[in-house]
């Protein structure tokens, strides 16, 4: 049961970050400034889902790893520490600043520089969480499809 909850929390966190990232890109590239403001405000509201999901993912992962060792456990733990630091030190403050600036109509070079940093940090977290999900499936004994490169090298 713990592993199913862990997987659910991780999936929710990954889905939130991917949704925030995609919504940001679409609104910035194809929509009016009012839509960008709405997306920035929605992302802040979505933090009420993301932050508890990330905390629950980390806590349940720590509980599942208790008494276990191995390369995958260590790699997942290291990734999760980076994801948490990236989220707390870059993504969360950026979300607040970008929402405030968007609400004030401040779409200047500093806004877009911070937006680029946030997109890079978000893409990094999406990648790391997806890798953790893959490795979690390996740990659980679920079959994970091999990449074409890995399959060709056999």
Its pTM stands at 0.85
What pLDDT does residue 8 have?
Answer: 93
Q: How many folded domains does the chain comprise?
A: 1
Q: What is the pLDDT of residues 67-99, one digit of tens each?
A: 887 888 889 889 999 999 999 999 999 999 999
Phi, psi of 142, rounded to the nearest 5 degrees: -80, 145
Q: What is the structure's pLDDT at 151?
A: 54
Q: Which residues of the chain have pLDDT under 50?
A: none
- Does residue 147 lie in a domain region? no
Question: What residue numbers bound the domain in which 44 lies?
Answer: 2-140
Residue 146 within any structural domain of the chain: no
Asked whether residue 24 is domain-assigned, the answer is: yes
Residue 150: inside a domain: no
Residue 140: per-residue pLDDT = 77
């Amino acid at each position: 049961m713990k592993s199913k909850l862990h997987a659910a929390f991780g999936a929710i966190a990954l889905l939130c970050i991917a949704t925030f990232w995609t919504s940001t890109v679409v609104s910035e590239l194809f929509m009016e400034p009012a839509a960008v403001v709405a997306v920035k405000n929605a992302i802040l509201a979505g933090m009420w889902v993301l932050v508890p999901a990330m905390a629950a993912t980390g806590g349940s992962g720590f509980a599942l790893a208790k008494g276990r060792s191995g390369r995958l456990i260590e790699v997942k733990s290291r990734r999760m520490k980076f994801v948490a630091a990236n989220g707390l030190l870059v993504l969360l403050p950026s979300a607040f600043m970008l929402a405030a600036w968007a609400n004030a109509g401040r779409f200047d070079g500093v806004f877009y520089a911070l937006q680029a940093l946030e997109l890079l940090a978000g893409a990094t977290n999406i990648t790391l969480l997806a890798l953790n999900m893959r490795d979690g499936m390996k740990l659980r004994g679920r079959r994970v499809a091999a990449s074409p490169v890995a399959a060709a090298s056999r």
